[in-house]
Structure 1
């Protein structure tokens, strides 16, 4: 097996090409656009299939340098924080509590499905945790962190491979499910966003001449400067938090720092430029998210799914069906049956099966077509990237005893 390692710049360039391939396919295939499949998902999955073919047909493994991806993630979540005005946070209080309760409930349901499926299929002890919230709600990071413990506890030598395969397949499914679910709900209940509301992520799908009057090199550089300052402060705060033995993802720290900044600095310096709900910030957030997602999907090692048998696919299929039913019949009604509930339903597929960026990408694809839903972009990251990690760690610890 020959390994071809790409540099950071080449990886970034390929990701842009992958995004444009996805854009071209979505433009040509109306069904992809109608079902709100993000362009980066379309292109990223196609690129992942290409690397899979290269692996099997030519014995060449393509390895991508993903350092730039981490910075894009920080830009993206910092942008969400800069858009979080206090009135949105106050409005999101009750929906945040409801979404948190729904997610915690689903965490238990997901693990029960994993345990039940494993028992019915006669799978070895320990696999249930890896096919539940460790890999699906937790994602790749949680899987990598917990797999050694599960392997040692149950004598499961391939625990990491099983967990990574489950997380990878879950990411693919989450990318494809969220948009169609939201489309069904929006069409059935005749929902739409508020057209007058400024975009929080991404610009609407209208001709450029109708939307770019306030986007120029000065506004973009001002926005990048503020983003960079917020990220730098986020790094500093993260070190302080780490010394206090509190574990938070760096992007959550940057998100919280940006929320504080956007609700204090404009009050003390009202004449200062601030990018909240501006088109430059929406553009940068959209760019960061799309390239991050393209990198994540095109770098998936799909060949790790092979050799694990049909049991993995069967369990993930059951998990997907349960997630979709839960979203349509529990999440959407509980969140109010309105447009924001439909957008959150698209995002919940990312919480339940994939990852927070996937959830945001699904919601962005929906809002670009049907209108903004700013509160949804505030409460979902707080639930999926902060509160749920703590609860998931408790549940995983119980299952891995």
Structure 2
């Protein structure tokens, strides 16, 4: 028997999956401790149920996920609108160093993924999915690029990317704290008292109204429209695949900073963040609901081995190289904890790592400025081109 769900029912199921994941996160300490996203929890549970029903020939469930691309496009556009150059200036030299380190990590992660995939006799394009796409990129990038790669004819790419992102997310939460504790104890580090205050530029939030909210929707839609045409034009001109969501994100960066130059209150980040959170949750839920777990059973061991190698590299790089680049002080140690979090998972993971550290050892104002700024959007300036070039080289 086959059950078909239309667009509306699929969106309802995606929201239901998200709510179930939220409830489970609150009740299961392990999920809450490692900041596993609610869509991942609920989506994987739904995917497991579908796999069970299919495996025992009870029923096949087909979902209409045709609107998933729209939610994905919207989310990446909101990421671009968060990239204010005036915020970057606040981070100074340390932000640039940390940013470059993230770019180096993205490159090395792809080299590791592709190299070991080839060693294990897997298609190199699957190595891209276990590289920066799922490690630094997390579930968002794994979903976006996994969908794109599957459209190119590589079955299982989305499932592989999401599985790797989930393992990486847990690993990022596990290794961050121990690394920082090791550095603090070894070098006897202590927080430095400072009277410096960080100004959260453009984030003095006024009440959200229907008019101001619609202005943000208009700006997002403008960036999406221009970005989608730009991506198609670039691909037709060069033969180099540039997904719409990537071009829309970079258009959003340009639009944000042009608007800031003339009126820095036009872009209202509270509304943008709400829209981004909602669209991310829906598109992640839809993606995870529809993954085909049975397609990657035979690849489980080699993929797990590649992810473990990625984790080992992040631990060694952050402990023995990045810590020195950032100044070998307490702030550097805290930033290393954040780096491990979003280098293997996501920015919330990084913030959770750093929050656990500062609550025990003391505050680090610089770390809490630099890590979220880079992890939330600046990281994509390096990671996106590296991922796109890798996909085009090996597709």
**Do both proteins adopt the same fold according to a TM-score greater than 0.5, normalized to the shorter chain?**
yes
Q: Per-residue displacement from partner, 1:322-375 (whole Å, max 9, x unpaired)? A: 11111222146527445554444333335xxxxxxxx46756877999967122
Question: Partner of 1:132: helix, strand, or coil?
Answer: helix
Contact 2:159 2:291 in 1 (8 A): no
Tell me the number of residue pairs that the alignment of Structure 1 and Structure 2 aligns.
350
Q: How does 1:142-291 map to 2 (within 5 A)?
A: 143-144=149-150, 160-161=154-155, 166-167=160-161, 169-182=163-176, 214-245=207-238, 246-269=240-263, 273-275=266-268, 278-291=269-282
1:155-199 Cα shifts (integer Å, max 9, x gaps): xxxxx457566445434434544444445557777899x997769
Aligned to 2:128, the other structure's residue is in SS state coil
CA contact (8 A) 1:83 1:200 kept: no
Structure 1 residue 334 and structure 2 residue 328: aligned?
Answer: no
Tell me the distance in 2 between the aligned counterparts of 1:379 and 1:81: 9
Tell me how far 1:66 sits from its aligned partner.
1.6
Q: What is the CA–CA distance in structure 2 between the aligned matches of 1:182 and 1:195, rounded to whole Å? A: 26
Could you tell which deviates more after superposition, 128-137 or 27-36?
Answer: 128-137
Secondary structure of 1:241's aligned partner: helix
Partner of 1:140: 146
In structure 1, stretches of 5+ residues that fail to align are 119-125, 148-159, 202-210, 351-358
- Give how far 1:285 is off: 1.1
Q: Which residue of 2 aligns with 1:383?
A: 382
Partner Cα separation in structure 1 for residue 131 and residue 334 of structure 2: 26
Taking the TM superposition and a 5 Å limit, the aligned residue runs for 1:2-401 are 2-89=1-88, 93-116=96-119, 118=120, 126-127=121-122, 129=124, 132-133=127-128, 136-137=131-132, 140-141=146-147, 143-144=149-150, 160-161=154-155, 166-167=160-161, 169-182=163-176, 214-245=207-238, 246-269=240-263, 273-275=266-268, 278-306=269-297, 308=298, 312-331=299-318, 333-334=321-322, 336=326, 337-349=332-344, 359=346, 373-394=372-393, 396=394
Equivalent position SS for 1:263: helix
Q: Secondary structure, in 3 states, of the residue corresponding to 2:266?
A: coil
Q: Give RMSD over aligned pairs.
A: 3.7
Q: C-alpha offsets along residues 20-47 of structure 1, whole Å, 9 cap, x if unaligned? A: 1111011111221112111111111111
Distance 1:274 1:28, change over 3 A: same
- The answer on whether the counterparts of 2:44 and 2:289 sit within 8 Å (CA) in structure 1 is yes
Deviation at 1:315, TM superposition (A): 0.9
For structure 1, which segment, 171-180 or 288-297, has the greater mean C-alpha deviation from structure 2 after superposition?
171-180
Q: Give the C-alpha shift of residue 7 in structure 1.
A: 1.2
State the TM-score, normalizing by the size of structure 2. Answer: 0.74
Deviation at 1:304, TM superposition (A): 1.8
Q: 1:73, CA displacement in angstroms? A: 1.3
Deviation, structure 1 residue 13: 1.0
Change over 3 Å in CA distance of 1:244–1:89 after alignment to 2: farther
Query: TM-score, with normalisation over the residues of structure 1?
Result: 0.73
| Structure 1 residue 135 displacement after superposition | 5.9
In 2 relative to 1, CA 225–344 (structure 1 residues): closer, same or farther, beyond 3 Å? Answer: farther
SS in structure 1 of the partner of residue 127 of structure 2: coil
More deviation, 15-24/51-60? 51-60
**Shift of residue 57 of structure 1?**
2.9
